[in-house]
Amino acid sequence: MFCRARWLRGQAVCVMLLVSLSVLPGSAVAGDSLANLQSLLRATASGEMAFTQTVTAPAKANRTKRKNAVSNGTMRFFRPGKFRFDYTQPFAQSIVGDGATLWLWDPDLNQVTARNQQAALGNTPAALVVSNGDLTALSVHYTLTARPDQGGLQWVEAIPKLVDGSLQSVRVGFDSQQLRALVMLDNFGQTSDMRFDRLRALPPEAVDAAFRFTPPPGADVIRP
């Protein structure tokens, strides 16, 4: 089963990195992947994409096969700082950043976790990139490396310079149009591979409602 707790508590880094990525202008297709990623980060202020996420847990000592879990949903973003992930399969849950508070909503548990968004993200790739789309700021805390093209995509890898968090590496895959893949490896050996459908415009009139979250009546609200 997809590990809710680990995703909700430990993958905010990757959620916010996704928020910062959108459409890559055609003029940036040819050339260095890092320069192309910089263009991608600055290209589009808002949008929404469907995604499929495959989480692969490391094989246990008495097993040779790794266990996979697949989930689906929709991601919306509005730079700077606002995003929403709505998971629909295999169970519903939402992760909403309204610019001030990071809300984690689990309907099955009837539980909401609310944290200060800036404090929760710290110096993660997303917290830096989502604010200004500047790879120079990101490179202060992460080593960025262009990787060989694979599967028709360009790739850039980000590795933390200080090994003190849950994230080992993030690989970003994109084509001439938009973000297509995000592959995350955590320090538990778990891999999360997210693949994205076509980017769609987010109607201006839908922005306020999309990134507003109010805890449902009767829900347990936890503020760590």
DSSP letter (8 states) at residue 58: P
Instruction: Give pLDDT, residue 123.
Output: 60
For the entire predicted model, the pTM comes to 0.79
Give the β-pairing of 220-222 and 67-78. unpaired
Q: How many residues does the chain have?
A: 224
Q: In order of start, what are the domains of the chain with their CATH numbers? A: 4-212 (2.50.20.10)
CA-to-CA dists, residue 214 to 70, 72, 104, 116, 211, angstroms? 28, 23, 11, 15, 10
pLDDT digits (tens, 9 = 90+) for 45-69: 778 999 999 989 887 766 666 678 8
CB 52 within 8 A of CB 166: no
Answer yes or no: is pLDDT of 220 > 90: yes
**What own/partner pairs with CB < 8 Å and gap ≥ 24 does 60-69 have?**
69/1, 69/2, 69/3
Q: CA 102 to CA 100: how far, in whole Å?
A: 7
- Out of 111-115, 131-135, 140-144, the most confident range is 111-115
Count Cα atoms within 13 angstroms, Cβ side, for 192. 27
Q: How confident is the model at residue 17 (pLDDT cuts 50, 70, 90)?
A: low
